[in-house]
A and B are shown apart, each in its own frame.
Chain A
Amino acid sequence: MKYKILILIIAVIFSAGVVCSVIVLNMPKKNTVQIKSGGKVLYTFDLGKEKDRTFDVTTADGRNTIEIKDGKIRVKDADCPDKTCVRMGWLRSGAMPIVCLPHDLIIAFTDDDSGVDAIAE
């Protein structure tokens, strides 16, 4: 009896996880992208207007090469040991950010449009 309840709890948590994952994956994209490190915003882009380019972002912990192409953004290369951020590919979901935990670097869509041009260059 005790185990049935525990298994039921697991089943509920698991289903909730699956449902939430599907919801997160289907969130719409936005245009403004922010690159953040340590809670501070390093760059803000309007992907619709950005030219195709590649550049390095260096934090205290390491370097990430960011690529912007056809209004999409990704981490092209990084000197972190696991390269999870590289394998995540282009920023797709409107909600789920690309993160590089070893370097404490986050690339995410944001609603905030203020100061786009000021920081982008």
Chain B
Amino acid sequence: MELKRLARLSMLTAVALIIFAVELQIPNPFPIPGVKLGLANIVTVYAVYRYRAVEVAMLVGVRITLGSLFSGNVMALLYSACGSFLCLLGMLFLKRIIDERHIWIASVFGALLHNTGQMAAALLVTQTPALLLYYPFLVVAGCLAGLFTGLCAQFILPRLKLFEP
């Protein structure tokens, strides 16, 4: 990988981490595990549309690892890793179908896949099928959060020349 690309990628990762750290300070009004706005995913959505699959995977991997260390919640790493993995697979596929003017659609599906991955991980860890009852709430929250982050990414994409690979 060329150096410039690598530097831009690390910058993006840093931006994502800062957004993540700031969001940690905002109290979450929804007391349901797994529900959050996920502002850092604006960067993920942006990267999915501008960078190669491997590069996005590296960005997300570093972000969730460092992010879980920052928040002091290492157990959350497992859930977010499963969610992010599924979300990335889905979004990298959707990128081929959905063009840049409809990013928010891809983002909503990404958020739904993220919640599905989280749910699968939680089911595996706790062995409690009753957790599935949270899933409807995750779906509703995922649609809204995905819509928001997707729209943000959509507005940013044409304006942000600095991070252009």
Which A residues contact B (CB, under 8 angstroms)?
Answer: 2-3, 6-7, 10, 13-14, 16-21, 23-24, 36, 38-39, 61, 80-82, 84-85, 87-89, 93, 95-97, 99, 101-104, 106, 108
Contacts and interface: CB of A to CB of B under 8 A. Distances in A.
A17 B128 contact: no
Contacts of B162: none
Contacts of B155: none
A39 B129 CA distance: 10
Given A13-B112, A108-B130, A101 B136 contact: no
Contact of B105 (A6, A84, A89): A6
B54 interface: no
A101 B140 contact: no
A87 B35 CA distance: 13
Contacts of B98: 3, 6
8 contacts: A3-B102, A6-B105, A19-B136, A23-B136, A84-B33, A99-B134, A106-B130, A108-B130
A39 B127 contact: yes
Interface residues of B, number: 33
B148 interface: no
A84 B32 contact: yes
Given A16-B139, A99-B126, A81 B73 contact: yes
Given A3-B105, A101-B79, A21 B136 contact: yes
B31 A87 contact: yes
A13 B143 contact: yes
A103 B105 CA distance: 35
B33 A101 contact: yes
Interface string B112-150: 100000000010011110110111110110010000000
B140 A21 contact: yes
Interface string B6-43: 00000000000000000000001001111000000000
B105 A10 contact: yes
B94 to A, nearest CB: 9
Nearest to A37: B126
Nearest to A39: B127
Contact of A95 (B33, B34, B73, B133): B133
Contacts of B76: 82, 101-102
Nearest to A106: B128
A97 B131 CA distance: 7
Nearest to B97: A2
A19 B135 CA distance: 12
A104 B122 CA distance: 9
